Amino acid sequence: MGEEQSLTITLNNNIPGFDSYFFRLDSSEQWEKAARNDITVKYAGNEHELQVKAVNDTGTMLPAVTYRIVHTDDTVRVVPDDHTIVKGQYDFRYENIQSPKVKWLQQYTLPVIYRFTGQWDMLISLREWVNEQIPNRNPLIKSQWDAQRILQAVWRDETAGFICVAYAATYVSACVSVGLAARMLHLGDEYGTGHYVTEVWSDDYLKWVIMDPLHNCYFTMHGIPLSALELHHLWKNNTWEGLKKQRDKNEHVPFDAPNSDYCSLFKDIQLINANDFLSRPFTSVFDLLNGNIRCIRLVDSSNPPFNKLIMGCQLLTFYYLPKIINGFIIPFVLPGCIVLCVIMFVRNK
């Protein structure tokens, strides 16, 4: 077998609320807890299998990742046995799990999931909870993508309500608060109609899955939940057979996919490349224009790149033209024009 060797491996991760690692060598029955980020293994021989899994501070355990330890001559290599992770140009900005607003939200989200042991049931229950909390109507205040602000507003004032972006932001923060991975997406069709949804990571299906908290649903094809990219390909190829809209595993929602305006929204997909809406709330459209909150957009043969100048003008027009009309033109310019018309009419008499 050879002389026993000792090897210390230092791991890094971007898991929200990371607490600790557990590991085992060669499928041993016993999992050992690591000393924070350092894993020390003792082995004899040339090649071994190392399994590592992480636990977050709510006790949720992630699936194991497998590495191979290869010892040849005087060289030791630790090789991932799973798919290679490709690091993108822009880092995703994660929520600070120690944020006071996250702690505030946990007092409401943890009771929602406490009776469930499965991750999928937790994701469904949180989506249903968010859908129940927020009335869908024109907002009286800006959401700022801040779940605390949104929930306190609707709990305090029964006339308060919000639109899709508030549902999506609240659901993302609700998931993150209990250690589940979630991100927000903006969908759009060729006519400029937009809609905010979320994607959540599912360990059951080992993929990202669309969740729409406003419509309280997700989508499946032959029983498998779909991601935004998969729905984009369905839209691109106009192949909707087998697509179902579901609330949970047992409840289907009537849905005529080929004739649905909703499906056309999957033409354009933009990922909001952050989920730290509680510790760094959205303030204005300039957060998007200056890259403070970065969006990553899907571009392919059916969805060409934006003209950035036109896009910036459209965003500013959409967000600020109504304010200019309501704040300046209606109270000042319009009355002035009326007075001027009256004066001219009297003079002409």
CA-to-CA separations, 343 to 80, 184, 226, 346, in angstroms, rounded? 82, 54, 64, 5
**CA neighbor of 273 nearest in space, from 14, 5, 3:** 14
pLDDT of residue 308: 60
Give CATH 3.10.620 domain extents, the chain.
100-309
pLDDT of residue 15: 72
Q: pLDDT tens string for the chain (349 positions)? A: 457 778 888 888 767 667 889 999 888 878 989 877 888 888 887 788 889 988 877 677 777 888 888 888 778 888 877 656 666 778 899 999 889 999 999 999 999 999 998 899 999 999 999 999 999 999 989 999 999 999 999 999 999 999 999 999 999 999 999 999 999 999 999 888 999 999 999 988 989 999 999 999 999 998 899 999 999 999 999 999 889 999 998 888 888 888 889 999 999 999 999 999 999 988 876 677 677 788 888 898 888 886 666 656 655 565 555 555 655 555 655 566 666 666 665 666 5
**In whole angstroms, what is the distance from residue 173 CA to residue 166 CA?**
11
Beta bridge partners of 10: 38
pLDDT of residue 87: 67
Top-tier CATH class for 100-309? alpha beta
**Cβ pair 293, 287 in contact under 8 A:** yes
pTM: 0.73
Q: What is the CATH number of domain 5-80?
A: 2.60.40.10
Give CATH 2.60.40.10 domain extents, the chain.
5-80
